[in-house]
Amino acid sequence: MATIDLGGIAVPEAALTFKFVRASGPGGQNVNKVSTAVEGRLDLDAAGIRGGLRDRLERLAGSRLTAAGEIVVFADTHRTQSRNREAALARIAALVEEARPEPRPRVPTRPSAGAKARRRDEKKRRGTLKKLRASVDPSDG
């Protein structure tokens, strides 16, 4: 079975399906005769994508993810089927590439004692400055 490299992951060709539909946009009269736009689908189950990568991919796909577990990408920017197919494949690959790296876990930190002291000093300085801006009472002087 042939595989395709999508964003660094080998995916079986059977997991990808392409449907050609009529496109709007450039192409002149040709646009009314030829189905050049591409609807590319990546079936996550058939691709064998599991675990954290699948979760990240589903989150990134957003509204492009179907209830059947397929990511749907539409490409109609070019005038030929082959270039639109390549564009759809590139979009799917970019999505997979973006989902591949595992996010580093956030390590909660606390401000140092020096940082706390600097913050307090700055607050005192600002408070003093604001007090000096107060209007002067004429009966005091």
| 0.85 exceeded by pTM | no
Contact 11, 47 (CB under 8 A): yes
pLDDT band at 78 (very low <50, low <70, confident <90, very high): confident
Q: Which of 26-40, 66-80, 84-98, 123-137 has the lowest mean pLDDT?
A: 26-40
Average pLDDT, integer, range 66-95: 91
Q: Domains of the chain by range and CATH?
A: 3-99 (3.30.160.20)
Residue 18 has, within 13 A of its CA and on its CB side, a CA count of 18
pLDDT attached to residue 25: 65
pLDDT attached to residue 49: 86
Query: Rounded to an integer, what distance in angstroms lies between the CA atom of residue 64 and that of residue 61?
Result: 5
Q: Give just the sign of the alpha carbon dihedral 76, 78, 80, 81.
A: negative
Query: Rounded to an integer, what distance in angstroms lies between the CA atom of residue 35 and that of residue 18?
Result: 12
pLDDT attached to residue 141: 56
Contact 87, 75 (CB under 8 A): yes
Mean pLDDT of the chain: 88
Query: CB count, 10 Å around CB of 15?
Result: 19
pLDDT band at 7 (very low <50, low <70, confident <90, very high): confident
pLDDT attached to residue 36: 85
Reduced 3-state DSSP string for the chain: CCEEEECCEEEEHHHEEEEEECCCCCCHHHHHCCCCEEEEEEEHHHHCCCHHHHHHHHHHHHHHECCCCEEEEEECCCCCHHHHHHHHHHHHHHHHHHHCCCCCCCCCCCCCHHHHHHHHHHHHHHHHHHHHCCCCCCCCC
